[in-house]
Structure 1
């Protein structure tokens, strides 16, 4: 799994950080998401999918690595 974020869409709600803090963080100045691990291990895939699903701006994009 590869995680990317459209920073222009991100509204800084922070739900992703609460659900998967090992993968997401927020910038101090504006709250925009920061990806800590763009290719999270298997055990983090469920919370990462949940974080993407609850993102109010649909800014988190998940893709499978071939």
Structure 2
């Protein structure tokens, strides 16, 4: 699955990093970013939950 994070929409709530800590982290400003191991997609089952948990819908998932 491919993951896109809209940096213009992200508010840095951190729900993605809490839901899927093996996929998401936060940058120095607190905004969402992918861990290097997930930049080319992931099969982590918590990724969908992290997308749903985003309060502003900044995370978009698509199948490869």
Normalising by structure 1, we get a TM-score of 0.86
Per the TM alignment, residue 25 of structure 1 is displaced from its structure 2 partner at its CA by 0.5
User: Alignment length, in residue pairs?
Assistant: 61
- Cα RMSD (Å) of the superposition? 0.9
Which residue does 2:17 correspond to in 1?
A: 17
Per the TM alignment, residue 16 of structure 1 is displaced from its structure 2 partner at its CA by 0.5
Q: Specify every segment of 5 or more residues in structure 2 that has no aligned partner in the other structure, as ranges.
A: none
Normalising by structure 2, we get a TM-score of 0.88
Q: Distance in 2 between matches of 1:51 and 1:10?
A: 13
